[in-house]
Amino acid sequence: MTGRKPRIGILTSGGDCPGLNAVIRAAVKTAERLGYGCIGFLRGFEGLVDPVSYMPLDSRATAGILTQGGTILGSSNKGRFSATTGEDQRVPLDPWLLEQVAQTVRQLSICGLICVGGDGSLTIAQQLHEFGIPVIGVPKTIDNDLAATAFTFGFDSAVASATDALDRLHTTAASHERVMVLEVMGRHTGWIALHAGIAGGGDVILMPEIDWTYENVCRKVLLREEEGKHFTLIVVAEGARLPAGGTVHTPAAGECQQVRLGGIGLVVAEEVSRRLKRDVRTVVLGHLQRGGSPTTFDRVLATQFGAHAVRLVHDGQFGQMVSYHPPQIDNVAISEAVRSLSRVDVGSSAVQAARALGISFGDAAELLSPFAHGERSPAAHSPPVA
């Protein structure tokens, strides 16, 4: 490293989301103030191996990217680096790939490699760490499904996008007295569906954590009609399981690829229409949830993540992932972070609030008292009447 300042490498892996560029910008600015140079590897982990591809990063290269969606470094969620084929299914990396990465790190004088990604990408990062490569993880997923951090950046932006869609669907559904089904992302968890459903005035929320039936969904539509409300908004997570079991998906393209979820919105719409003889329309947000500028919350969170990741490199705390434990930014072992997914607690305050508002989860619970799931009734908090 004689004559060359130590370098920090940065890469973004997995699906893109708003806030990735904010992480890159914060990491570069922090690194420069601490005396490090920075390089960004292109196309995720693929940029680390033959052909090695990277770009120099400094304040000039990252100027103006704070508000931009996507990532200036590019990303990939397929190829030679595939460590996750499904929930709890890990695939060991080829030893040749690990040695190639180690060689790249040595040749480019990389003193720390910041890997920004979700569950699958962090599983790869953990394997690099176990091989002796100095790695720091930064959590990124719009699904908000990493248990080791309260929130991941990208989630708030995705919820904002889904909420905006519901706001728009509300007016057209009311005008034409229709049932509207909005399909949102959420492979294993219903965080986006839950938060957007509450914020956007949804009437039914279907998500992986709660079993539901078509009968209960249709009952909610009919109950609203009895109340004089001749339209219904249904929000469904792409990973919600069908009443008969299983998900709606396209088979995996390769042995080390996950199945492609999507299509449950149309299935729900067709079944509700068949049963109730109603006009039902479907909207699938898909990748619209990943695009666009990050929200203020995601910009702040991603900026803090990037700065803290560089501090961990500076302190030699490798094998750690940056995490958010309100109000502080902290860190946990990557191995701990990828051990389990964060699922919606069906007894959480958010779910309780939704039920109290009359939102159905398709499980018939809307027919019960809103306080029937662990909450005491208001009378239990009040003194007896004299």
Which residues are marked as active site? 143
Q: Which residues contact 242 (CB under 8 A, 6 or more apart)?
A: 248, 264, 267
As given in the structure block, the two tokens for residue 67 are 């508000």
CA 182 from centre of chain = 18
Beta bridge partners of 117: 139
For tokens 């790190």, what's the residue?
105
Please tell me the distance from the alpha carbon of residue 342 to that of residue 350, in angstroms, as a whole number.
Answer: 15
Please tell me the distance from the alpha carbon of residue 284 to that of residue 274, in angstroms, as a whole number.
Answer: 20
Q: What is the DSSP string of 304-334?
A: HHHHHHHHHHHTT-TTEEEEEETTEEEEEEH
Show the CA angle centred on residue 253, arms to residues 248 and 259, nearest 5°: 30
Please tell me the distance from the alpha carbon of residue 31 to that of residue 27, in angstroms, as a whole number.
Answer: 6
